[in-house]
A and B are shown apart, each in its own frame.
Chain A
């Protein structure tokens, strides 16, 4: 796997995006060189990883400490019935590697913590937050700000989704904590407690994959917040600037 050229097989595999002026030969080589860190391989991480692997992202790193359970199969589309009980990262790698054997897939069968966050995040070009809890979300945000990494974050519950993109390469432009301050009164709604529309995660995870490609290919360089309602199909784009009182990015 040379990072500077595309084999004939790769040219054939990616032909339908190579013909796009937005991708092309040079763009495909950028995708091949890119390292993307996916934190959480659940409802969001599965579709995001599928599309990123299919698109030819050169190196994907999957972080998750969970095992595949029957309740996951309603929405976590990388897993099959015969993967039950297996580590999600390893099960996901099996599915992704059988889709694209031209890319490198690393697995970290751990939760993201203060201990492993630095090494994992500094090694990535782009970080996808596909986690299911606020502790991880604030941790990912803090380290992405510290190491100036692009953070593409999504979340979904019931029939509503949020997509947030933070280009931390520019200092002080705003971060996750500028939008949502941590609160001890925060209700910890997640898919386990409140339920979620399965295909909504497909939409939000795919949006994360699209924005990942946009960033790598240079089509995107702004912070963004989008909310999506799966019932009304309304999508709302909200612009933001940094909160001058933010203790993380200011």
Chain B
């Protein structure tokens, strides 16, 4: 099934958790430090990543904090 991460389409297996997808993605993109994750425009607390099962068409946004001002 297809999902999007930061507006990019990805194909993933059925009934995979948000935690698994994030491990994969952050390794691929070399994301260091903390980041926030929104699923369909709603932030998901880190403690809920593992029990959040993804559905086809889900839209994930991974956001890093910005310090500049």
A pairs with B: yes
Q: Mark B27-39, 1 if CB is under 8 A from A, else 0.
A: 0000011111010
Q: Are A132 and B34 in contact (CB under 8 A)?
A: no
Report how many A-B pairs have Cβ atoms within 8 Å.
96
Whose C-beta in chain A lies nearest to the C-beta of B66? Answer: A155
Q: How far is the CA of A236 from the CA of B42 in the complex (A)?
A: 11
Q: In the bound complex, do residue B66 and residue A45 qualify as a contact, i.e. CB atoms below 8 Å apart?
A: no
A227 near B42 (CB under 8 angstroms)? no
Total chain B interface residues with beta-carbon distance under 8 A: 19
Would you call A194 an interface residue if the criterion is a C-beta within 8 Å of the partner chain's C-beta atoms? yes
Task: Kindly state the separation between the CA atoms of A194 and B67 in the bound complex, as whole angstroms.
Answer: 11
Query: Which residues of chain B have C-beta atoms less than 8 A from A150's C-beta?
Result: none
Instruction: Flag the segment in A87-95, A101-109, A156-164 that touches B.
Output: A156-164
Q: A180 — nearest CB in chain B belongs to which residue?
A: B65
Question: Which residues from B are CB-within-8-Å of A45?
Answer: 69
Tell me if A62 is interfacial: C-beta within 8 Å of chain B: no
Q: Complex formed: what's the CA distance from A148 to B36 in Å?
A: 23
Any chain B CB within 8 A of the CB of A238?
yes
Q: Is the CB of A183 within 8 A of B34?
A: yes
B47 touches A188 (CB 8 A): no
Residues in B whose Cβ lies below 8 Å from that of A196: 68
With the chains together, A44 CA to B69 CA distance in Å?
5
Q: Which residues of B contact A (CB under 8 A)?
A: 32-36, 38, 41-43, 45-47, 61, 63, 65-69
Show 25 A/B contacts (Cβ-Cβ < 8 Å), sorted by A.
A43-B69, A44-B69, A129-B69, A130-B69, A132-B68, A132-B69, A155-B66, A155-B69, A162-B63, A179-B65, A180-B34, A181-B34, A183-B33, A185-B33, A186-B32, A187-B33, A189-B66, A191-B68, A191-B69, A196-B68, A238-B42, A238-B43, A238-B61, A244-B45, A245-B47
